[in-house]
Amino acid sequence: MIKELNSAYRIKCDTAGCKNYATYKIILKPKISLSTGVYVCTKCAKDMYEDLGKLFVPKSPVNMIKKNLLGGTK
C-alpha cells in the first residue's frame, strides 16, 4: 500500500543520492508492520512506477499510478 505523508513530515527520500523530502511511504507488508516501509519523494515515485510499468506492463499504468498516489489507500 502507499500512504501519502502529511506535509509536516520531514523525512528524506530513501533513494540514494536524492535530497528531496519524502512525499509517500510505500508499505510493502502492511499486515505485518505499518512502520516498515520505503520513503520516496514524488519524483522518485514516478521514476519507480515508470520502471515497474516496463516490467509488468499493466493495462493502464498512468491511471493506476494516479489512483494509487492520489487517494488509493489499499
Number of separate helices (H) and strands (E) present in the chain:
2, 3
CA distance linking residue 10 with residue 66, whole number of Å:
23
Footprint of Zn ion on 38-57 (CB under 5 A):
41, 44
Q: Looking at 2, 15, 24, 68, which residue binds Zn ion (CB under 5 A)?
A: 15
Query: Residues 36, 27: contact at Cβ < 8 Å?
Result: yes
Residue among 13 and 65 whose Cβ is closer to Zn ion? 13
Confirm or reject binding of residue 36 to Zn ion (CB under 5 A).
no
Q: Which residues bind Zn ion (CB under 5 A)?
A: 13, 15, 18, 20, 41, 44
